[in-house]
């Protein structure tokens, strides 16, 4: 969505208005300790004027550069400049607000930071949509963003922020939660693919089977996620108690197993349905040509139908992966681990920064996965379709 071809970008105007409004709400918060209520601090008050003015100028200039509709590169530069100004103010505020505030003081990003971050990311996305970079350029841009983020975190410039102090005191637990979250999301994806691809192939070739299986999988998708996790508890609890050796493999009423099984069940419909749709996308003329060349059914599947349907199959995996990264957060409620552990601990303790410690990496992981899968989908499309 790029607005008019010439003149002012309509999204740019909206982002500029919202961005200026975001400067009028608290930018950061300062609390005497982890428990007491925090007080909001405006963007121009987080540090001495000599330090805040460069950041404020970068923010306003970034919003202004997002206005020209016919200059997407300029708008992209404006988004980068705005994010740089946002980072500058965060770094100055993180150290400046804590100076003389006490040993237990906590400083955190407030509503203004999150609003401006969202606005500049949307502005960057809008500019990239108009530029339409190829998959290689998008991959390079993603790698550059991740490298910049890694350098910022490694430098310790944002270490005084409360959310990073929460991380510092839970490094081992965070690493364990990250591994568990990845195991839940990617492990359930792999299992669903191993089950769903063969089932999808059978459904593609047998209309009766398709009519029987797809409604069942659709019904599973309608069950609320929390209810699905709850249903797994008594089922796997009974199996763990009744089947010898089941508990030795981690099968129990709570923990990793019920969360993993629930995610697999949720994943089957997108995998099976997209497999059917992908195989059906092969042009009949190509199928007939392959048959005329003497190819067997299996050869047609491997050499014609699967290659042509691969973009649609990968789209199904993309849906599953992003969905499962989000749903894995709920696994923390039933002892499944993952980043949801911090989210629900933070809710119980009314600790916003602990909630963010679980929420932010989940959101980042979902965004990165979606971008990478989109790149893979585009790379598997025919060159002519990519150019169009």
Domain 171-387 in CATH 1.10.3720.10? The answer is yes
Cα of 218 vs its chain's centroid, Å: 24
Domain extents in the chain: 10-147, 171-387
Buried b (16+ CB within 10 A) or exposed e, 320-339: bbbbbbbbbbbbbbbbbbbb
Q: Residues of the chain with pLDDT > 70: what percent?
A: 95
Query: Rounded mean pLDDT of the chain?
Result: 88
Per the model's pLDDT, the better-predicted residue between 103 and 146 turns out to be 146
What CATH number is given for 10-147 in this structure? 1.20.140
Strands, sheet with 106-109, edge to edge from the N-terminal-most edge strand:
39-41, 28-31, 106-109
Are residues 20 and 1 in contact, defined by beta-carbon separation less than 8 angstroms? no
- Band of residue 249 on the pLDDT scale cut at 50, 70, 90: low
Q: Residues of the chain with pLDDT > 90: what percent?
A: 59
Q: What is the pLDDT of residue 386?
A: 52
Distance, in Å, from the CA atom of 289 to the CA atom of 267, rounded to the nearest integer, reads: 34
Which range is least confidently modeled, 5-9, 256-260, 369-373? 5-9
Instruction: Reply yes or no on whether the pLDDT at 344 is more than 80.
Output: yes
Instruction: Reply yes or no on whether the pLDDT at 62 is more than 80.
Output: yes
Distance, in Å, from the CA atom of 189 to the CA atom of 181, rounded to the nearest integer, reads: 12
Q: What is the pLDDT of residue 250?
A: 66
pTM to 2 decimals? 0.88
Per the model's pLDDT, the better-predicted residue between 236 and 128 turns out to be 128
Q: What is the pLDDT of residues 184-231, one digit of tens each?
A: 999 999 999 999 999 999 999 888 999 999 999 999 888 888 788 888
Per the model's pLDDT, the better-predicted residue between 3 and 116 turns out to be 116
Instruction: Reply yes or no on whether the pLDDT at 296 is more than 60.
Output: yes
Are residues 192 and 271 in contact, defined by beta-carbon separation less than 8 angstroms? yes
Average of per-residue pLDDT across 22-51: 89
- Helix or strand holding residue 107 (H, E): strand 106-109
């Amino acid at each position: 969505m790029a607005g008019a071809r010439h003149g002012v970008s309509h999204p740019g105007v909206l982002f500029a208005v919202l961005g200026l409004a975001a400067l009028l709400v608290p930018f950061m918060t300062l609390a005497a300790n982890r428990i007491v209520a925090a007080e909001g601090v405006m963007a121009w008050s987080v540090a001495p004027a000599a330090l805040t003015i460069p950041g404020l100028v970068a923010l306003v200039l970034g919003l202004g550069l997002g206005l020209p509709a016919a200059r997407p590169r300029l708008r992209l530069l404006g988004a980068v400049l705005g994010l740089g100004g946002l980072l500058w103010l965060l770094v100055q505020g993180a150290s400046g607000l804590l100076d003389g505030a006490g040993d237990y003081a906590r400083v955190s990003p407030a509503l203004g930071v999150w609003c401006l971050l969202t606005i500049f990311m949307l502005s960057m996305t809008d500019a990239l949509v108009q530029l339409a970079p190829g998959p290689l350029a998008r991959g390079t841009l993603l790698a550059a963003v991740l490298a910049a983020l890694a350098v910022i975190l490694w430098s310790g410039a944002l270490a005084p922020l409360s959310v990073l102090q929460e991380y510092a005191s839970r490094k081992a637990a965070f690493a364990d939660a990250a591994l568990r979250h990845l195991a839940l999301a990617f492990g359930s994806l792999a299992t669903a693919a191993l089950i769903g691809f063969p089932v999808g192939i059978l459904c593609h070739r047998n209309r009766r089977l398709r009519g029987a299986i797809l409604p069942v999988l659709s019904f599973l998708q309608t069950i609320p996620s929390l209810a699905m996790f709850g249903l797994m508890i008594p089922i796997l609890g009974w199996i763990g108690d009744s089947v010898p050796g089941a508990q030795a493999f981690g099968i129990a009423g709570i923990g990793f197993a019920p969360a993993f099984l629930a995610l697999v069940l949720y994943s089957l419909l997108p995998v099976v349905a997209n497999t059917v749709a992908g195989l059906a996308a092969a042009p009949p003329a190509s199928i007939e040509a392959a048959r005329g060349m003497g190819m067997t059914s299996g050869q047609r599947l491997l050499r014609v139908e699967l290659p042509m349907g691969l973009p649609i199959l990968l789209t199904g995996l993309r849906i599953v992966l992003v969905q499962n990264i989000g749903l894995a957060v709920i696994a923390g409620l039933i002892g499944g681990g993952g980043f949801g552990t911090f989210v629900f601990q933070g809710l119980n303790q009314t600790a916003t920064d602990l909630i963010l410690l679980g929420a932010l990496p989940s959101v980042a992981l979902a965004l990165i996965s979606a971008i990478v899968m989109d790149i893979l989908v585009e790379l598997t499309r025919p060159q002519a379709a990519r150019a169009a």
